[in-house]
Amino acid sequence: MKASGIAVAGIVLLLLAGLVVWIAHTLRPQPVRVMDDARHSTRLGRTAPCDAQTGEGFVASGKWHIDEYGPVLEVTPTPCGRGVSDDLTKRDSLDMEVIEKFSGNINWRNTRGMINQLDCHVINFPQKPTWNLEPDRPYVGYADTWAAECNPSVGRPDTPFE
């Protein structure tokens, strides 16, 4: 009888351990999934190039690194990518190219805030060698991102529906 009690206790412990693993798996952060938007895509489902004649894209390269404030995506634009500030359609395509290329990384989050930072760099600092996008900076909307010179630090919650 004593052995069966130990066996039952072992089974209960295994079930509890399985439950803990299942809960941890269920609650883990989910990766960002990006859906293609037909407005920004060619027939092949990819973003349109920056220069239709040469096929040059908007982004030459991008790399993730960690600094004292957290993760940073360092984007190096192409010469064509630097010159899209006045063309809203091309700016949208630049945004989509960055999302397509870099959102699969575990550090990617706060998509709206990062895109506001990107657009701010495109318009205000097109000649900087690289544009740093920081997912840990708060989403504050484009106007406040622009006012903070692309580096917002104080979050502003959305206004409630009334």
Q: Does one domain contain both 21 and 101?
A: no
* Rounded Cα gap, residues 116 and 136, in angstroms: 13
pLDDT at position 71 is: 96
Q: Does one domain contain both 64 and 97?
A: yes
pLDDT at position 40 is: 38
CA angle 38–40–47, rounded 5-degree value: 115
pLDDT at 13 over 90: no
Q: Does one domain contain both 84 and 12?
A: no
State the pLDDT confidence band at 43, using cuts at 50, 70 and 90: very low
* Rounded Cα gap, residues 43 and 84, in angstroms: 22
* Rounded Cα gap, residues 5 and 28, in angstroms: 35
* Rounded Cα gap, residues 74 and 79, in angstroms: 16
What's the total number of domains in the chain?
2
pLDDT at position 34 is: 41
Q: Does one domain contain both 107 and 142?
A: yes
> Does pTM top 0.75 for this prediction?
no
Kindly state the average pLDDT of the residues 3-21. 77
Domain that holds residue 15: 1-30
Q: Does one domain contain both 46 and 24?
A: no
State the pLDDT confidence band at 144, using cuts at 50, 70 and 90: very high
Q: Does one domain contain both 15 and 83?
A: no
* Rounded Cα gap, residues 140 and 162, in angstroms: 20
Compute the mean pLDDT over every residue in the chain, rounded to the nearest whole number.
83
Q: Does one domain contain both 70 and 2?
A: no
Q: Does one domain contain both 139 and 60?
A: yes
pLDDT at position 162 is: 56
pLDDT at position 8 is: 81
Q: Does one domain contain both 21 and 45?
A: no
Q: Does one domain contain both 42 and 84?
A: yes
- The model's pLDDT over 59-118, given as tens digits with 9 standing for 90+, comes to 999 999 999 889 999 999 999 999 998 888 899 999 999 999 999 999 999 999 999 999
* Rounded Cα gap, residues 85 and 10, in angstroms: 64
- The model's pLDDT over 23-39, given as tens digits with 9 standing for 90+, comes to 766 666 655 444 334 33
